[in-house]
Structure 1
Amino acid sequence: MVRMGSDSPILDAAACVGCGECVTVCPSGVLSLGDGLVVVAGAGCIGCGQCRAVCPQCALTIPGDDPWAQAYDVIEPSGEQIAPGGCQAGRLVDIMRSRRSCRRYLERPVPGPVIEDVIRAGITAPSGTNSQAWTFTVLATRAAVMSLGQAVAGFFGRVNRLAANRLVRKGYALLGRRELEDYYREHYASVAEALAAWERDRTDRLFHGATAVVVVGSRPGASCPAEDALLATGNMLLAAHCLGLGSCLIGYAVEAMRHDKRVKAAAGLPREETVHAVLALGWPAVAYARPAGRRRPLVRYKTA
């Protein structure tokens, strides 16, 4: 076995045939050919696994690869490596169009193995420089979800009291900060109504009765943590749908956690982590007959 540095691939020299395929796909330039074998040349490997994936002899392994990511509990992958063009794009589009944001859930809890498989599907997403610094904090019971809901309600109650003060709003606007004025115009009334319903009888207009929540965050040090987390979240939405779950992204909870450390603490996140998405999960109490429509986007082409 040949290894250079803690993050570099490990080469089984006896298995290597010197084809050089791994050298051509390495984005970090840490592999080269010498004397008919692959040479692992110094540090700089990002652990992307491209070399291992392309090697016809399985002569390379990546330190740090964890079997947890491959050991699904309820999903049954075939293990097949599907080449580009090797699956029906129409079926994939059917799945993507059929997934909708769910706002009616059964009281049935979501088992932990199901949630973990959703997360496993999430981390098949690409990650900038292969940082994989994403984190997933699971609120696995309705009681835990309601506790976070109470913290979010407390935050927006404080924001609404501030926004209700016209002098404060105008003062912020004069300083070039129109966020509070915009919030008052666009969200104040609906938030006040939701808060009143919450205080009256715990009507849940935030998580809509979901019995589980996954907070998708990141540890410090990633090159593009927000993009990584949101790509993983997109995969999770599709996996949840395929497993029979309903899902909904809860932007109000993200904003509360970004602006108030007490809300983030209520979700169980340490201070150094950043929140990028909050995903409500549960068994849907509604069935949809057709996919959602979409507006035509602006699409540009540049040919030179």
Structure 2
Amino acid sequence: MKNCVPRIDAEACLGCGACAAVCPSGVLGFDGRKASVVAEGCIGCGHCAALCPAEAVTVSAGENWTAAFATIDAPGKVVAPGEFSPAELVDLMRSRRSCRCYTSDPVPGPMLEDLVRAAVTAPSGTNSQAWTFTVLTSRAAVMRLGEAVAGFFRRINKLAANPVVRKGYALIGRPELENYFREHYPSVAAALVKWDRDRTDLLFHGATAAIVIGSVPGASCPTEDALLAAQNMLLAGHAMGLGSCLIGYAVEAIRHDKRVRAAAGLPTGEAVHAVVALGWPDVTFLRHTFRRRPIVRYQTA
């Protein structure tokens, strides 16, 4: 985060040097008696202010937007490592599932905003916080985006159905269309038939809201930042009683078609990394399901 300026109250400083030791950018120094600002380049992480026992350090980084939530009564406690139940956290993570059955009830605007607040408590590379969130607050807005996504895939399917076009792309080193035809064409074609027939929604599955997570230029790892924010949003949504699902097809359509971008209400110049469908679940899961053992490697030296 740019334009951050740490300030140290020399009179209040106890001389512990903790702020300088924790500064990731080398902006703060410690001469054995007092801490001071010794360089530029503060990324606004706030570590120094968060650990100063005398509250002698402040970081001017604008409004603390996550200081209060509208629909969640958070007491504001700082939870230190080891102070939260890992068992409860694991149960939350295992219980959250991708929801594809929603009621028709809308999600209140304050809840959607609180989901964004929860999302931006995630870490970001060099603390860039370059996220953007485009919130579709109604079923009508979700359907409008769904129609634009359907139009994109109609055009892609038309291209992919032509073997000459597929082979031509492959010959110039572009096998994506051939891969798409093999892996996605049949299911997308079937979904489009149902959508065109009676608006059966196999994309957003009846969700009454959605949030598009993007980024403005300047972040060091914007995709990773957005997906970390999305995971926060998914877990917070589950805790709030909402269902959620990541919609990868919508991401691809927005990335490749300006008409879909316009339907989502996105300006030019923003990258898109995730689309989260949201709504009140019309299904109750009674137990956890399995996860395969991943490839895990350990190195001891």
Q: TM-score category by the smaller chain?
A: over 0.9
Unaligned stretches of 5+ in structure 2? none
Q: How many aligned residue pairs are there? A: 300
Pick the aligned partner of 2:287 from 283, 287, 290: 290
Name the residue aligned to 1:274. Answer: 271
2 CA distance for matches of 1:292 and 1:216?
28
Over the aligned positions, Cα root-mean-square deviation in angstroms equals 1.2
Once the two structures are TM-superposed, the CA of residue 264 in structure 1 deviates from its matched residue by 1.1
* Aligned equivalent of 2:300: 303
Cross-structure match for 2:55? 58
Give the equivalent residue in structure 2 for 1:8.
5
Instruction: Check if 1:100 corresponds to 2:105.
Output: no
2:140 counterpart of 1:170 = no
Aligned-pair CA distance for 1:14: 2.9
What's 1:115 paired with? 112
SS of the residue aligned with 1:248?
Answer: strand
Moved over 6 A (4+): none
Match of 2:200 among 186, 203, 211: 203
Identity %: 65
Structure 1: runs of 5+ lacking an equivalent:
none
Contact 2:7 2:59 in 1 (8 A): yes
**SS where residue 17 of structure 1 aligns?**
coil
Determine if the alignment matches structure 1 residue 28 to structure 2 residue 25: yes
- What is the one-letter code of the residue matched to 1:142? R
Provide the C-alpha distance between the structure 1 equivalents of 2:62 and 2:245, rounded to a whole number of angstroms. 31
In the alignment, is residue 43 of structure 1 matched against residue 40 of structure 2? yes
| Structure 2 Cα separation of the partners of residues 21 and 35 of structure 1 | 11
Does the 8 A contact of 1:137 with 1:269 survive in 2?
yes
Residue 75 of structure 1, CA deviation: 1.2
Cα displacement string for residues 175-227 of structure 1 (whole angstroms, at most 9, x for unaligned residues): 22111111111111111111111111111110000000000000001000000
Q: 1:149 maps to which residue? A: 146
1:70 and 1:120 in contact (8 A); partners too: no
Contact in 1 for aligned 2:134/2:266 (Cα 8 Å): yes
Q: Deviations over 1:132-173 (max 9, x none)?
A: 001110000111000000110000000000000011111111
Code of the residue aligned with 1:196 in structure 2: it is: V
Per-residue CA distance 1:49-82 (angstroms, 9 max, x = gap): 0101110111112112423221101112221111
Contact 2:116 2:233 in 1 (8 A): yes
Q: Deviations over 1:8-37 (max 9, x none)?
A: 212223322221110110001111124732
In structure 1, what is the equivalent of residue 155 of structure 2? 158
Answer whether contact 2:3 2:61 (CA < 8 A) is retained.
no
TM-score normalised by length of structure 1: 0.96
